[in-house]
Chains A and B, each alone.
Chain A
Amino acid sequence: MGNGVFVVANKTITVALAGNPNSGKTSLFNELAGANQKVGNWSGVTIEKYEGTRNYNGYTIKFVDLPGTYSLTAYSPEEVVARNYIIEEAPDVVVNVLDGTNLDRNLFLTAQLMELETNLIIALNMYDEVKKQKTEINIELLEQLLGSHIIPTSAVKKTGIDNLLDHIVRVFEGNIVIAKNKLSFSDRIEQKLDVIVSLLEKEKELSAKYVVRWLAIKLLENDKEVYALVKEYPVWLRVEKVLQDTYHEFMKHHKEEPEITITEDIYAFIRGAITETAKYHVKVKKTITEWIDTVLINRVLGLPLFFFIMWAMFQFTFKLGEAPMAWIEYLFEYVSLGARYVLPNGMIESVLVDGILAGVGGVLVFLPNIVLLFVALSFLEGTGYMARAAFVVDKVMHSVGLHGKSFLPMITGFGCSIPAIMATRTLKNRGDRIVTMMIIPFMSCGAKLPVYVLLISAFFSPAMAGNILFGIYLFGVIIAVFSALLLKKSMFKGESEPFVMELPPYRMPSFKTVTFQAKYKAEMYVRKAGTVILLASLLIWIASNFPFSTSIEREFESNIAMIVNSDTYNVSEKKAMIRRIEHSKSTAKLEYSIAGRTGKIMEPIIKPLGFDWRIGVALVSGLAAKEVVVSTLGTIYALGESNEESVDLQQKLQADPNFTRATALSLMIFVLLYIPCVAAIGVFRKEAGSWKIVGIYSVYALSVAWIASFIVYRLSLLVGLGS
């Protein structure tokens, strides 16, 4: 530099990536930022925020991937996030990623970015496809029209990346400049803009922070956020008058709002620009995408193929997940065995093995399913099929007040509520999303199956088993549908996402894009297992082991000692008796513990459903994981390790005069409907963003479960299942 010593400038450049969904923005971001990425959330909303840094020629370039949007209005959270970032964080450079094969639509966002007068660079992405289609684009001319540098890129072919980086640095340093071009509107809009701009400029604070012309445009477009912003200033009174007059004038003379005129002007500009700069290779035949769609979503095959694809996805998720699930189970089994071997018998061993390892292991076994499901989801999303799936089933979903995109998370709920709740992120509307999350747990998850299997095989004939099982699943779906209608008509009235949606061309998603989501979700899940789940398992362990009673210990120990010392029994008889005493001891201990007492306290509430305190305990411990209902019943009914096929437990349940077929049906319905496991509740809380929603949901689910079980129990008694 100045004194002749070469110094590497270490400057940081912040670059925001803006672009339409399906413009290849995410792939380009992956190419630009490389592996050095982190994922967070935009503050206040559950929209993922991707950031990545890269060193280039001595500069540290920080990339921020803005949510994919078609526009920058105040209607969707994504658009608000994107534009607030550009306005408030003022990134050094904004790279607008365009799908070069879809300029008409993509340039609409470019026009919005031009209004914001940012340092814009355009990445003309998918340029390889543009070439393949023999489209000729006069880049130099388009650069002048848009007032921005245009770099042809292809994230798939990895071309143009260095050129883009180079331009980012040069634009940042002011080494190259292209005269910014103002988007001009028709005279009748420009006149009004001039009036509003001159008013707004009087407010120094506003004009220092914002591009006033942009504010003026947004005011004419009726943008509610900009309205709220300008309202805070004294000049508002005069601005409002102008806006009202303009509105009436437009309606009277042009029969349309200023907003429409502005949009039409932008499209006129875009079309003009494209006509001047692009030459398309005329082709008459159908595109590949159109051919695929004539089969994939036609009126006859559309639904069957949709169901087939869903089926294939679940096969992929759950069948392929079986082996790794077993490995995780083995791993935890070995670790538990090892811990039992190494540690002395007693409290520490118990808390580690029965509490933490059992709890965390029980949650981590679902990890393979989560990874596989998100690989499948990202793949289907990346190809463009997801939008078609929503198209095919929207009618059904819409009839219960939901969006076509709600279908997939709901179906996923049959596997496990956790990935299902995570998958609701595809829903943009908060009301739609929360309602979908609330009904997902009614879709009976895989962990509830052992409970049904145990009870059905204990109380019903094999001929009836299938029907009852199917009936329970169906009952869950009916409750889900009913709840969706109810919630949509009451709490989340009016809030609904319009269905207007692009059906993007089919594309093969990149490996990175497909695996990235899965990796991120897996990390999130593991982190959850290591924190919340660990804590919850610990609490449940404490609840079922404390308070500790020395008198119970002493009583049973002395009983055992008596048997050991007695001469009337042979060795194997002694063993069996000791085993029985050990089991009664754990029952007695459980009864004495917090969990047992809770069960007793609960008894009056659950008595009308045919449940006694033991079932109460099982239901509480079922919050750790639904399968635990079975193992807890096993403990209480004085058995050691029990699973759904343990005939012993079945016989014990049958032998209990208070446990009838009516009780079994009532219990299955309750397990089907009451609140899900702590892991799912944790994810619910994270995705819903507030405990209040979780609270409302819990009260709702518990009430529904209680009422439904009550009705089922009483009806069963009436038809003579009470014995």
Chain B
Amino acid sequence: MDSKLSELKAGDKAEILAVNAKGEIRRRLLDLGVVKGLNVKVVRKAPLGDPIEISFRGCHLTLRLEEAEDIHVNKIGEVGDGKRMNGHHHGKRGFCGGK
């Protein structure tokens, strides 16, 4: 099911289909590892509803809803469905995150 990253709720999991942002925002997303095929989870929304926090392979990233609007995703899971957040290219846990 094709939707936008901005439409997901906290706890939802999705696979990224395309990053349609332009210019600097797209470059920043790419540099931080947000590319096609990546599985992400929406961790939470900020207290005022915007921006949102996403995580993938143990990394945590924040972006605004207007920036998330240009990221097309395929929803693959919801909070509490027991599905593990696996990276697309490997089955192990993530690489990011310190302690």
Q: Name A's B-contacting residues (CB within 8 A).
A: 70-71, 73, 75-76, 99, 101-105, 108, 126, 129, 132, 256, 259-260, 263-264, 267-268, 271, 274-275, 278, 280, 282-284, 287-290, 293, 297-300, 302-303, 387, 390-392, 394-396, 398, 404, 497-507
Contact = CB atoms under 8 A, between A and B. Distances in A.
Contacts of A506: 98-99
B79 interface: no
A495 to B, nearest CB: 10
A264 B88 CA distance: 13
A105 B67 contact: no
B45 interface: yes
A395 B50 contact: yes
A103 B57 CA distance: 11
Contacts of B9: none
A263 B30 contact: yes
Contact of B49 (A101, A395, A504): A395
A264 B36 contact: yes
Contacts of B19: 260
7 contacts: A101-B96, A102-B59, A104-B57, A126-B98, A287-B99, A392-B47, A507-B98
A303 to B, nearest CB: 5
Given A104-B59, A394-B64, A499-B51, A283 B96 contact: no
Interface string B36-50: 110000011111111
Nearest to A299: B47
A70 B27 CA distance: 11
A278 B95 contact: yes
Interface string B54-96: 0001111111100100000000000000001001011011111
A104 B35 CA distance: 13
Contacts of B36: 256, 260, 264
B19 to A, nearest CB: 7
A75 B27 contact: yes
A184 B47 CA distance: 44
A504 B99 CA distance: 11
A299 B47 CA distance: 4
A274 B89 CA distance: 11
Contacts of B37: 264
A104 B96 contact: yes
Interface string B9-50: 000000000110001110111111111110000011111111
Given A297-B46, A299-B45, A387-B62, A108 B99 contact: no
Contacts of A282: 92-93
B62 A391 contact: yes
A391 B54 CA distance: 12
Contacts of A132: 99
Contact of B53 (A76, A103, A263, A503): A503
Contact of B63 (A73, A284, A499): A499
Contacts of A275: 89-90, 92
Contacts of B93: 280, 282-284
Contact of B27 (A71, A298, A505): A71
Nearest to B57: A104
B40 to A, nearest CB: 13
B99 A288 contact: yes
Contacts of A126: 98
B57 to A, nearest CB: 6
Given A391-B46, A499-B63, 5 more contacts: A129-B98, A264-B36, A267-B35, A500-B63, A506-B98
Contact of A392 (B34, B46, B64, B84): B46
A189 to B, nearest CB: 15
A108 B28 contact: no
Which among A76, A288, A501 has the greatest number of chain B C-beta atoms within 10 A? A501
A283 B29 CA distance: 27
Contact of A394 (B23, B27, B31, B50): B50
Nearest to A274: B95
Contacts of B45: 299
Contacts of A299: 44-47
Contacts of A390: 62
A673 to B, nearest CB: 29
Contacts of B96: 101-102, 104-105, 505
A280 B43 CA distance: 23
Contacts of A287: 58, 97-99
A289 B53 CA distance: 13
A256 B27 CA distance: 14
Which among B27, B53, B59, B92 has the greatest number of chain A C-beta atoms within 10 A? B27
B32 A391 contact: no
A289 B96 CA distance: 11
Contacts of A129: 98-99
Which among B29, B32, B94, B95 has the greatest number of chain A C-beta atoms within 10 A? B95
A293 B45 CA distance: 12
B46 A395 contact: yes
Contacts of B58: 287
A354 to B, nearest CB: 51
Given A299-B44, A507-B98, A501 B63 contact: yes
Contacts of B63: 498-501
A125 B34 CA distance: 24
Contacts of A102: 59, 95-98
Contacts of B34: 500
A640 B82 CA distance: 77
Contact of A498 (B28, B43, B47, B95): B28
6 interchain residue pairs of minimum CB distance: A505-B98, A104-B95, A71-B31, A395-B48, A302-B47, A503-B60
